[in-house]
Structure 1
Amino acid sequence: MAQAKAQPPAGADRDHGTAAVGPVQISAELKALDTSPKGLSADEAKARLQKYGLNEIETKEESRWTKLLGYFWGPIPWMIEAAALISLVRRDWPDFGVVTGLLLYNAAVGFWQDNKAANALAALKKGLALEARVLRDGQWLSVGATELVPGDIVTVSAGEILPADLLLIDGKYLSVDQAALTGESLPVSKKVGDSAYSGSIAKQGSMTAAVTATGNQTFFGRTAKLVASAGTVSHSQKAVLQIGDFLILLAGALALLLIGFQIWRNVIVADTWTWATIGSITQFVLVLLVASVPVAMPAVMSVTMALGALSLSKEKAIVSRLSAIDELAGVDVLCSDKTGTLTMNRLTLDQPIPYGNAAPDDVILAAALASQRSSEDAIDQAVLHALKTPTLLDQYKTGDFSPFDPVNKRTIAIVTDAQGRTLHYSKGAPQAIADLCQLDPATRGTFDGQVNDLASRGYRALGVASSADGQHWTLIGLLSLMDPPRPDAKDTIARTRQLGLSVKMVTGDDVAIGSEIAKQLGMGDHLLVAGDVFAKGTDPDHIPLDEEHAVERADGFGRVFPQHKYEIVKSLQGLGHIVAMTGDGVNDAPALKQADCGVAVSGATDAARNAAALILTAPGLSTIVDAIVEARKIFGRIQNYAYYRIAMTLDIMFVVVLSYIFFGFQPLTAIMIVALALLDDVPIMTIAYDRVVPSPKPVRWNMHRLVVFSSLMGLLSIAQSFGLVLAGMEWMSDPSRMARFPLDDGHLQSMLFLQLAAGGHLLLFVVRTQRSIFQPPSPSASLFFAIVATQILAVLMCANGVLVPRLPWSLIGVVWLYVLVWMIVLDIVKLVFLGLERRREIESSHLVRSLTGDMTP
């Protein structure tokens, strides 16, 4: 027997939820489930439990040890581990300690962040009901919800979490809040023949139902499966790997070149191949490995993002995954949930439409009298809050009250006024009220036209009527209800677009409702029904190109279910977009995890918060705009560090190889390399506080530009460093100069060490801004004084011979004058490069506009 699969409810059908089936169909459904209204026996339930398993979300999670070991596997970890191993073999303990410490730090940060994402499934499990009332062997029992099986007969009542997917088979009605599953802003009224879904909450009523699906086969369970399968590799992770691959390949080529020259010089020419020679080559390879692999790069990026996350928290945005900062800076499409994000998530009344002699306030008062003051129903609350004088209700005494049910589709209240008269009031679906009042054809035509007009603009209409005897009813008027936009939503959307983002509404409500809100917010009204975009059975991992383009062109989507949200994100990602998805419910969790930057809005469920990379603690979308600006600043700081790190790595690699090839000179010792790594990167962590100008449009890693610009700066830095080596060698080759001022290999090593330490940080000052180094924004005080302190330390090390050969103060002055001149040269070349780049961009833009016929200035 195949387990029955329930289908998602239709978002447009507010009163019915899913399409109802009649008694014959219910009997057929029960037969298909091999059950009856009398339920199962204990033995049958036990057999089915063996067949279908427990009613819980099953997950296959990778062990934590496997995840941890994964951070020690890959090109960059391999090179760092190789450097550490060589250091260990040679018993070079300072080098071994630094390299191993950085490797462990990178793994610890990544492992800690990854564990946070794994909590999404745990939060989903918390949403399942704990117990259920089930009919077994003809008796009603309370059992754990995990023991339910397809075919069980259960009861569900107001306040309970639905324990499984159900087919409602008996009872008057049930009002179900399934917003966390489908995103619908209003509870859905269910009746016999409707389906209801695991994880939703019964708000009113009580019904008997048959279990149609359990565990991972439920609508809720399939959402959990999507969360488990969702996820992307962040662009920052890809960038670090690509940078590492580039430097590793270059280091490998230079290592082979270096080894070749070593063998040629020591074996072929000098014929002195000994174990000492092998040790010498190993030492050079060690120096090259430590120089070439940016061992501190992942750590510096993680610390920079962590400090950036602290800044974001001040903007009411909590980062749960550090890579979200990088992704948020590059987001060019924002998929925004409607209810509670763009809107207030609170129904309000618009201007009433009175009939006959009634005034607008009379319509509201009559509707309030047809409501229960203690009710938590969203419509009742909207009506009661619309009363200008709530104390008017105190003049009436409520007698009998008939609550709303999906059959009659109206409420009826019998009240007594201050004069002792008995009056009847009713409110409900417009068609039900029109039938109750037996309207004449002309009035009915006008009435239906107004209802249709309200529906076309996304409003929910509510008819109101009164009667003196309960038999003959008079139409008082129409009420229109809508969840209004948040006061700041329109300005927020405008600001978001100014930042270069396309905003798409994604809602479980009907397209008409979404379109009206979209018009009011200036988002565009090209909303599509999600089910019409994606063909039935579409594989989310292989979405057809025409569907992807339809998603890209749309302004938003209505009647959206979890699978659709996931497919929307995948479609946009398939076209190269970096996508942010906002949401607050269980239904949003798969898309939040799949999105490049999932954003859980204020008041989100645990499942949404754990699946998201960014959690907003203030209501609305305005917080995300501030977060985007801050994220672009953080991205700018990290990108500036990458320019500096690649250029400096190229500088150190090439000066080591060129010095040996041309002069047989080892310019840096291993301990110097380690000291440089500490002097360069430890103070650079204060780059997280640097002043930067945020980009006016989305930013992302452009590896071509990164490599080209970094290589240009690196080439000039190589010229700077190797120029110092050439000058030193030239000086030492002239006896007359040496007689005036003696210079040896140790002095030259220390000079190069100081030049790399000072010139490197001056290079950072050059690449940290796209303007001249002498123009604002100036470096932050934290970065400036951290670098000043580092340079004082480097000068004192050279002056006192700590870890490096001692250097006279006169030569220290010469090195500093040398690097300052080169800083100006580097700044001029940078400005020329950026000017040419901007010119190419302008010419390219003109060409595109001419080809597309866009003559907009």
Structure 2
Amino acid sequence: MSTTQPASRNRSDNSPDLEREELDVVFQQLQTSPQGLTSTEAASRLAQYGRNELEDHQLSDLQKFLRYFWGPIPWMIEAAALLSALIGHWPDFGIIMGLLIYNAGSGFWQERKASNALAALKAGMAPRARVLRNGQFASIDAAEVVPGDIIRIKLGEVLAADVRFIAGDYISIDQAALTGESLPVSKKVGDSGYSGSIARKGEMTAVVIGTGNKTFFGRTASLVAAAGTEASHSQKAVGQIGDFLIFLSMSLAFVLMGVEFYRQVVLRDDWHLEELVNILRMVLVLLIASIPVAMPTVITVTNALGALALSRKKAIVSRLEAIEELAGVDILCSDKTGTLTKNQLSLGEPILFATTDPQEVIRGGALASKRDDDDPIDLAVIAGLQQPDILDQYQLQKFVPFDPVSKRTEATLTDSQGTSWKFTKGAPQVIIELCHLDPDTQHRGEQSVLDLASRGMRALGVAQSSDDGKSWTFLGILSLLDPPRDDSQETIRRAQEHGLGVKMITGDDVAIGSEICRQLGMGTHLQPASDLFTKEMDMSHLPESITACVERADGFGRVFPEHKYGIVKALQDRGHVVAMTGDGVNDAPALKQADCGVAVSGATDAARAAADLILTEPGLSTIVDAIDEARKIFERIINYVLFRVTMTLDIMFVVVLSTIIFGFSPLTPVMIVFLALLDDVPIMTIAYDNTLLPPKPVRWNMRRLLLISSFMGLLSIVQTFGLLLIGEEWITNPDWMARISLNHDQLQTIIFLQLVAGGHLLLFVMRSRGAFFMPPWPALPLFSAIVGTQILAVLMCGFGWFVTPIHWKLIGLVWLYMLAWMVLLDLVKQVIYRKISNHENGRPPWYKRFLHSRSAGRK
């Protein structure tokens, strides 16, 4: 049992501690009474203390919107816009700023929609409280409870605030989610109770002493929420890509400026300021061409649409970057109860002793239960009766509930003949000792309990007495099991096929967990968590022997909340990307530490605040579905990044090489702007694209990504520059090709068409790991957007809209040239992937873990 105690309430030295002071002092300090508050007083206190909910320190809408204008890539766009303004090219300035604002607006809108989905979920989970207002109890939104309110708590209800109990006979509350105590705690008048605890038995009235962030619940959650977190892997990766492209573009810009300054100024005696302005314009063209304008927006939109898709699968993403983390998860640490199992105890076949009728044992256990109680054990026993109405033949005289000391319940009843009976059920060893069995029968009973435990079943002893408890008859042993969910075995199998290791986490004994694992087809090597982790151990610096044991184990039994953090940290130290499920306040550190924390259905607000993924339905299948969906989303992002880096390299080098070698820019500023529009705006539909489900976890591997995109970029440069060389030769010898004349302005249009059309053909190549014509084929939104873009580009070039017109035959020849290169690029791409795959598969596991830990980092 955990000995965790609540932190001291925030107060000045002279103010009383409302958790420990006499009730009279509490009433005086809160200026209230057992008669409660009036509506007017409550409204005044609500304005003073605020709503009874955790403060969510989110950025304002304006701050969220302005974030899209901050960072390496937005800075480059803003610099290009500023340069346009300085040299007086206001149309370019307007279009560039329009693109920047469009990107920010699109990303902000999609992120806002995902945030609204989460807000709607929280609103649907709002609890209620019964409060004494104006002399009458009424049910109100728990967020409107204020200090000084008198509330009534009964069986099954959640405490809406920190309280002191002031009236009532008895209440037993489960506060394991807050303090780690494994058993419900009995409370009496004068005792305190914490927000988020659940009433398991009894009913009492209490005065509210703390609400919102001033509760023990709220203070714990605030500490976790305030903990600093590093940038996500996705943010780091995008930053690295941006840094790479910025460094490259700036280097090429300096080369270009140096060459042109030498040509236009140093070698000429009659240079004018106009030459310097033209150099700045050329640099502007290069900067605009080299900036992946839509990259942040495409990633945000793809993640946001993915988050909405996950919400339809009953998984709410609390932060968009969590999708990337989820895609890389290779180990899932899952709760047993309610996630792998139904959280519904069912009755097995009774073991008979002093009777030959199994129903007699069940009847004895049912009579020792309370029918109007919500206790899961009592409900399971009563549900096992073939004739439940047999209980109506008995009149209850007295009922003694279960408590941790006696470890049994006892009921005194009178049957229809007026005979008095006592029935008891509880821990088998207690019932056996109560019945004073002979050695052989006692040995058989103890062995039966051990056999049930080895099969993962709980045992309850049942006895009856007809002489007011002077002697007891041992009727038998009831077996109870929380059976696996109907979909758990199939879900585990599917998870394993997808390269996901599932480790069971349970507070039950190892034997019970092992039996459930066996039934689900999981490994049965479970470790008692208390044997691995000691109180003196520093969870942040675990010895290698412990981390190795954690990695080898198939699961963990006798787990307390504080052990979960150690399990996560140990697995991360071994190079794994870990998802951890949890539902309580004490689970929050583990959820925060995990690469992807998952708050299961029914989790506390504190757990949901610390988690990256919030489930609205029980079961493991929801998590596995979410991981599958996240992998598809991640693949779409990788496909876009590969395409964008490749295209950026192509545009940058072609512009610089053409300017240096031939003395003219292959693209005008207007063409650059339309290239950005025609390339980037339709490409946002990649968020809807079809993709294969990766069979294994996927993670950012910058070395691999830059290697592939650089190699494909080199070939794309050869493709575009080759067309440029053909055009130059055509201009020099106009009669050698179909007697169609060509000038430099028309050559610029040809290069523009090649970059627009060839870029999207390159996307068809890069979005697939196999041949581009094999499934999965492009989704209709992506395909339609690209076809529409190509039609517009062809019409622009044929009719001369914003560009110099070229002959329709030239347009056809350019398309034939690009289609031939598309086939060549696809073949080269397949060879690259095959070589990389063979190289990585030949490495030992420890080296792969080393690479993963370096490329992924830790949260």
Query: Given the two structures, how large is their TM-score scaled by the length of structure 2?
Result: 0.82
**2:431 corresponding residue in structure 1:** 433
Which amino acid in structure 1 is aligned with residue 373 of structure 2?
A: S
Output one character per residue of 1:394-450: Cα deviation in whole Å (capped at 9) or x when no partner. Answer: 343434433334444333323344555433222223343234323334433333343
Q: Note the C-alpha offset of 1:162.
A: 5.3
Output one character per residue of 1:18-58: Cα deviation in whole Å (capped at 9) or x when no partner. Answer: 9xxxxxxxxxxxx9999677775778899xxxxxx999998
- Is residue 460 of structure 2 the alignment partner of residue 469 of structure 1? no
Contact kept, 8 Å, 1:368 with 1:380, in 2: the verdict is yes
Q: Note the C-alpha offset of 1:665.
A: 0.6
Distance 1:666 1:248 in 2: 20
Q: Note the C-alpha offset of 1:269.
A: 1.2
Q: Do the aligned partners of residues 482 and 339 (structure 1) sit closer, same or farther apart at CA in structure 2, a change above 3 Å counting?
A: same
Distance 2:26 2:693 in 1: 67
Root mean square deviation of aligned Cα: 4.3
Q: Note the C-alpha offset of 1:808.
A: 1.3
- Report % sequence identity: 56
Q: Note the C-alpha offset of 1:813.
A: 1.4
Distance 2:203 2:259 in 1: 86
5 Å-filtered alignment, 1:283-362, equals 283-362=281-360
SS at the partner of 1:101? helix
Contact kept, 8 Å, 1:54 with 1:147, in 2: the verdict is no
- Is residue 794 of structure 2 the alignment partner of residue 795 of structure 1? yes
Q: Do the aligned partners of residues 406 and 320 (structure 1) sit closer, same or farther apart at CA in structure 2, a change above 3 Å counting?
A: closer
**2:367 corresponding residue in structure 1:** 369
Q: Note the C-alpha offset of 1:576.
A: 3.4
Question: Which residues of structure 2 form unaligned runs of 5+?
Answer: 7-15, 32-48, 134-143, 849-859
- Is residue 691 of structure 2 the alignment partner of residue 692 of structure 1? yes
**1:12 corresponding residue in structure 2:** none
Distance 1:236 1:412 in 2: 59
- Is residue 77 of structure 2 the alignment partner of residue 77 of structure 1? no
**1:832 corresponding residue in structure 2:** 831
5 Å-filtered alignment, 1:56-71, equals 61=57, 64=60, 69-71=66-68
5 Å-filtered alignment, 1:41-56, equals none
Q: Note the C-alpha offset of 1:349.
A: 1.8
Q: Do the aligned partners of residues 240 and 155 (structure 1) sit closer, same or farther apart at CA in structure 2, a change above 3 Å counting?
A: same
5 Å-filtered alignment, 1:200-219, equals 200-205=197-202, 218=216
Q: Do the aligned partners of residues 543 and 213 (structure 1) sit closer, same or farther apart at CA in structure 2, a change above 3 Å counting?
A: farther
Q: Note the C-alpha offset of 1:338.
A: 1.7
Q: Do the aligned partners of residues 843 and 411 (structure 1) sit closer, same or farther apart at CA in structure 2, a change above 3 Å counting?
A: closer
Which amino acid in structure 1 is aligned with residue 274 of structure 2?
A: A
Q: Do the aligned partners of residues 551 and 688 (structure 1) sit closer, same or farther apart at CA in structure 2, a change above 3 Å counting?
A: same
Which amino acid in structure 2 is aligned with residue 472 of structure 1?
A: S
Distance 1:422 1:379 in 2: 25
5 Å-filtered alignment, 1:531-570, equals 531-536=530-535, 546-570=545-569
Compare 246-255 and 565-574 and name the one that shifted more: 565-574
SS at the partner of 1:844? coil
Q: Note the C-alpha offset of 1:729.
A: 1.6
Distance 1:61 1:555 in 2: 39
Q: Do the aligned partners of residues 441 and 426 (structure 1) sit closer, same or farther apart at CA in structure 2, a change above 3 Å counting?
A: same
Q: Do the aligned partners of residues 561 and 270 (structure 1) sit closer, same or farther apart at CA in structure 2, a change above 3 Å counting?
A: farther
Distance 1:453 1:771 in 2: 54
Query: Given the two structures, how large is their TM-score scaled by the length of structure 1?
Result: 0.83
Which amino acid in structure 1 is aligned with residue 73 of structure 2?
A: I
**1:451 corresponding residue in structure 2:** 449
Which amino acid in structure 2 is aligned with residue 829 of structure 1?
A: V
Which amino acid in structure 1 is aligned with residue 80 of structure 2?
A: A
Output one character per residue of 1:171-190: Cα deviation in whole Å (capped at 9) or x when no partner. Answer: 98642233544789975667
Output one character per residue of 1:62-91: Cα deviation in whole Å (capped at 9) or x when no partner. Answer: 753666554433222221221232233332
**1:852 corresponding residue in structure 2:** none
Contact kept, 8 Å, 2:64 with 2:108, in 1: the verdict is no
Output one character per residue of 1:605-645: Cα deviation in whole Å (capped at 9) or x when no partner. Answer: 45544544334444311233333333322222221221111
Which amino acid in structure 2 is aligned with residue 639 of structure 1?
A: I
Output one character per residue of 1:634-682: Cα deviation in whole Å (capped at 9) or x when no partner. Answer: 2222212211111111111111100101011111112211211221122
Distance 1:34 1:415 in 2: 40
Contact kept, 8 Å, 1:505 with 1:555, in 2: the verdict is yes
Compare 382-391 and 832-841 and name the one that shifted more: 832-841
**2:700 corresponding residue in structure 1:** 701
5 Å-filtered alignment, 1:143-542, equals 161=158, 174-178=171-175, 180-181=177-178, 187=184, 198-205=195-202, 218=216, 221-229=219-227, 231=229, 233-455=231-453, 458-470=456-468, 471-536=470-535
Q: Note the C-alpha offset of 1:503.
A: 1.0
**2:100 corresponding residue in structure 1:** 100
Output one character per residue of 1:820-839: Cα deviation in whole Å (capped at 9) or x when no partner. Answer: 11112212212222232333
Structure 2 residue corresponding to 1:7, chosen from 3, 7, 18 = 3
**1:732 corresponding residue in structure 2:** 731
Contact kept, 8 Å, 1:464 with 1:479, in 2: the verdict is yes
Q: Do the aligned partners of residues 449 and 124 (structure 1) sit closer, same or farther apart at CA in structure 2, a change above 3 Å counting?
A: farther
Which amino acid in structure 2 is aligned with residue 631 of structure 1?
A: A
Contact kept, 8 Å, 2:23 with 2:190, in 1: the verdict is no
Compare 426-435 and 607-616 and name the one that shifted more: 607-616
5 Å-filtered alignment, 1:709-728, equals 709-728=708-727
Structure 2 residue corresponding to 1:88, chosen from 85, 88, 106 = 85
Distance 1:308 1:458 in 2: 39
Compare 108-117 and 779-788 and name the one that shifted more: 108-117
- Is residue 754 of structure 2 the alignment partner of residue 758 of structure 1? no
Contact kept, 8 Å, 1:349 with 1:481, in 2: the verdict is yes
Distance 1:533 1:713 in 2: 50
Distance 2:339 2:310 in 1: 19
Q: Note the C-alpha offset of 1:476.
A: 0.5
Distance 2:771 2:620 in 1: 36
SS at the partner of 1:694? coil
Distance 2:424 2:846 in 1: 66
SS at the partner of 1:343? coil
5 Å-filtered alignment, 1:24-39, equals none
Contact kept, 8 Å, 1:651 with 1:717, in 2: the verdict is yes
Distance 1:41 1:397 in 2: 42
Output one character per residue of 1:702-761: Cα deviation in whole Å (capped at 9) or x when no partner. Answer: 111111111111111111111111121222223655994321111001000000111111
Which amino acid in structure 2 is aligned with residue 95 of structure 1?
A: I
Contact kept, 8 Å, 1:581 with 1:597, in 2: the verdict is yes
Contact kept, 8 Å, 1:411 with 1:428, in 2: the verdict is yes
Q: Do the aligned partners of residues 160 and 265 (structure 1) sit closer, same or farther apart at CA in structure 2, a change above 3 Å counting?
A: same
**2:632 corresponding residue in structure 1:** 633
5 Å-filtered alignment, 1:605-644, equals 605-609=604-608, 611-644=610-643
Which amino acid in structure 2 is aligned with residue 414 of structure 1?
A: T
**1:855 corresponding residue in structure 2:** none
